[in-house]
Structure 1
Amino acid sequence: MTTDASPSPAHGSAKHLYQRHQAVLPDWLAVYYADPIELTHGEGRHVWDAEGNKYLDFFGGILTTMTAHALPEVTKAVSEQAGRIIHSSTLYLNRPMVDLAERIAKLSGIPDARVFFTTSGTEANDTALLLATAYRRSNQILAMRNSYHGRSFTSVGITGNKGWSPTSLSPLQTLYVHGGVRTRGPYADLDDAGFIAACVADLEDLLGHVRPPAALIAEPIQGVGGFTAPPDGLYAAFREVLQERGILWIADEVQTGWGRTGDNFWGWQAHGQNGPPDILTFAKGIGNGMSIGGVVARAEVMNCLDSNSISTFGGTQITMAAGLANLTYLLEHDLQGNARRVGGLLIERLRAIAAQLPGVREVRGRGLMIGIELVKPGTDQADPDGAAAVLEAAREGGLLIGKGGGHNTSVLRIAPPLSLTVAEAEEGAAILERALRSTQF
């Protein structure tokens, strides 16, 4: 890491702050690093901690700082909106909310789309499940193994990753489907066509034993699950089976949306041969750090609720102003194209590094959404301790990354802001290589 001349805040050390954190916040509130750091400011693709250390940010606040830290266009939009009105709730007409909804509806690919704004991806997925179960009059949900959809009671109940599902209690009956993880599980040895055929056959067999579910919810690329993905076309094949039975498809685009995957603006478009999803959920990157989530659905699905509802904070003016400015910047600067180009170079660089390291099982991903799965050398056994060690070593080298995975958190997650430069990609790869080599690899 490098040390900047910026002074530290006069509020005590990070160690003291962590002691205060532990005294008043839940034990289950995860914090990175043996000695947690306090990030105080950022610019572009870099952030600084309270001690003045500078880091290249390859995780963006969990895929949330989508364009850049302290992006002037977003900062200006937030400041100007704050000088007019910050909030009014959905009980009043809201021009920034309508403006952003119009743009998202058009970009979604869903015909006759309606948009409802929330404050998080969790709440967006909750809303999507409410819509699907009300529309279909069924409390059965299909979800993918190794999936993650949020931390609310409902979304935890459909999450297929036990590390992020603290209770089996749920208002929904969840049925888990094969296919989200290409390189593990009973169909891993098949080629792509065989893998898809086997997963479809499994889905059809499952549906033959249960009453028709309301919907399938799926992340096109599983985020917390370790950036795993099925072959392109799997969800299109699923969609055909679902459409025959009237079952809805919910695409959870909380992590994959807005061009992060490079090849497509939405993750579902890699599986769009049978049309767009019935419901799409989004959050994270659209606000560039401001709290925005939302749901897009065709009108008949969105309008199926027969009681009143509002959102106190969903769609509030200041977050909508940030979202509009951020989306405009992303489109005008073709950050999707940048994710494709720079992400492609970064993936190839990381694969070249991994080829020399027996502890790296796989480098996978698309665009600027990259996972490095670690195993104990000479085995196929997940290595969460190794992943934790690399995370620490990367921080020491001046690079912030994430981790995840359904097999004991043994996947390093890389998801920088989409404005990442080639030079920064090379710098991050070099730091990561040193971190990998400095551990047991």
Structure 2
Amino acid sequence: MTPDLFGRHRAVLPDWLALYYEDPLEITHGEGRHVWDAAGNKYLDFFGGILTTMTAHALPEVAKAVGEQAGRILHSSTLYLNRPMVELAERVACLSGIPDARVFFTTSGTEANDTALLLATAYRRSNTILAMRNSYHGRSFSAVGITGNRGWSPTSLSPLQTLYVHGGVRTRGPYAHLDDREFTDACVDDLKDLLGHTRAPAALIAEPVQGVGGFTSPPDGLYAAFREVLHERGILWIADEVQTGWGRTGEHFWGWQAHGQNGPPDIVTFAKGIGNGMSVGGVVARAEIMNCLDANSISTFGGTQVTMAAGLANLAYLLEHDLQGNARRVGGLLLERLRAVAARVPHVREVRGRGLMIGVELTRPGTDEAAPEAASAVLEEARAGGLLIGKGGGHDTSALRIAPPMSLTVAEAEEGAAILERALRSI
């Protein structure tokens, strides 16, 4: 890092803007699955700018598409026809699994979830939202109001009435001792009981795998069981795929497909990986829901030409190179390698995840108490060894978050696992 950059950062940016590491890192450039800092140190990147560098750093196909589009026109707003936006919307609508789908582009996952909440509440004429405990949906006023993770919810004020449902965390809470079938049944009973005490909500919003919450997830099929209950009452299901979309979980292209026995969600939100670093988010919904707004609306920066060009090139690369299959294969190897490591480290309570979305939960040895100091120590040791990872958690947990670009090779997975093993043993 430039010696005075940290001081300059602190002088002009908010105190609550989180930075990793005691000596914060300035990343200057990247290539493939590696990045370099201002001092010339090279790191294997296992976090991808918070799951955003989905395919690879400095991917030539994306860089070329951005450069060519920038040489023509960068931006015109949604007041004009926009060929790249239409082309990407067509591809996303087709891939979404939602019949008669319409797509609206935003600049972030937060804005995508905001839009989904606007659509659901307008369509259902209700401002009550069901959300999952330990969830995270963004940093805007409405998204904070439905976030079930205390560490990322700075205010209880909200334009929405939010009711929190059990089920997002499998191995903690009052139902953790049950088997998967009993766990699902208990969560469904809890949902039914909750609905008996409130006016009809607009929607349930849920991450198929909770990202900031530490890569936790329910048993497969839980949201399908919820969907039956919701559908009977006309309540919408919003799948927050900001972190789980585009094949990152390996087994499925969308995280909701692990729960898709009763059909797709009514609304899907996405962001992060589709732009590979460019600011792209969006919402997919059935036409009757998307078109329910009876007021004018535009987006100045959502769907701008240069970001759409990046998204098209990035999505094409992902599909042509079967990065979903790579996430399944290499992610499976990495998960088993880390589980073998964890068996010899007393601080590790659980290694969980699917595809290239892996969480390592840390506790104080011999207890179920969260160990945030251990997570920070591992983060520092991993960096010293040349590996960048993330951290998260909620529900009194501390977890390491591992989510490399989806083009990760077997050799890089082995290298990263070895570095992480040394870091875990150091605590």
**TM-score, length-scaled by structure 1:** 0.96
Q: Does 1:36 align with 2:30?
A: no
User: Structure 2: which 5+ runs fail to align?
Assistant: none
198-207 vs 403-412, greater mean Cα deviation: 403-412
Rounded to whole Å, the distance in 2 between the matches of 1:342 and 1:109 is 26
Q: Does 1:70 align with 2:58?
A: yes
1:202-250, Cα deviation, whole Å (9 max, x unpaired): 0000000100000000000000000000000000000000000000000
Aligned to 2:108: 120
Q: Does 1:427 align with 2:415?
A: yes
What residue identity is the alignment partner of 1:114? R
Q: What is the percentage of aligned positions where both structures have the same residue?
A: 86
CA contact (8 A) 1:154 1:171 kept: yes
Once the two structures are superposed, the pairs formed by residues 15-414 of structure 1 within 5 Å of their partners are 15-408=3-396, 410-414=398-402
Rounded to whole Å, the distance in 2 between the matches of 1:15 and 1:139 is 49
Please give the secondary structure, in 2, of the residue aligned with 1:273: coil
The change in CA–CA distance for 1:411 and 1:236 in structure 2 (over 3 A counts) is: same
How much does 1:408 deviate? 4.8
How much does 1:15 deviate? 3.5
How much does 1:409 deviate? 5.6
CA contact (8 A) 1:384 1:408 kept: no
Aligned to 1:415: 403
What residue identity is the alignment partner of 1:369? M
1:56-112, Cα deviation, whole Å (9 max, x unpaired): 000000000000000000000000000000000000000000000000000000000
Please give the secondary structure, in 2, of the residue aligned with 1:436: helix
Rounded to whole Å, the distance in 2 between the matches of 1:290 and 1:15 is 28
Deviating runs (4+, > 4 A) in structure 1? none
Aligned to 1:10: none
What residue identity is the alignment partner of 1:377? P
Rounded to whole Å, the distance in 2 between the matches of 1:35 and 1:96 is 41
Aligned to 1:7: none
How much does 1:14 deviate? 3.0
**TM-score, length-scaled by structure 2:** 1.00
How much does 1:295 deviate? 0.1
Number of positions where the alignment pairs a residue of Structure 1 with one of Structure 2: 427
Please give the secondary structure, in 2, of the residue aligned with 1:274: coil
User: Structure 1: which 5+ runs fail to align?
Assistant: 1-12
Please give the secondary structure, in 1, of the residue aligned with 2:238: strand
1:165-207, Cα deviation, whole Å (9 max, x unpaired): 0000000000000000000000000000000000000000000
What residue identity is the alignment partner of 2:423? A
What residue identity is the alignment partner of 2:356? L
CA contact (8 A) 2:363 2:397 kept: no
What residue identity is the alignment partner of 2:321? H
Please give the secondary structure, in 2, of the residue aligned with 1:14: coil
Aligned to 1:3: none
- Please give the root-mean-square deviation of Cα atoms over the aligned residues, in Å: 0.6
How much does 1:407 deviate? 3.9
Rounded to whole Å, the distance in 2 between the matches of 1:378 and 1:94 is 58
Rounded to whole Å, the distance in 2 between the matches of 1:44 and 1:15 is 27
CA contact (8 A) 2:369 2:397 kept: no
How much does 1:410 deviate? 1.1
What residue identity is the alignment partner of 2:106? T
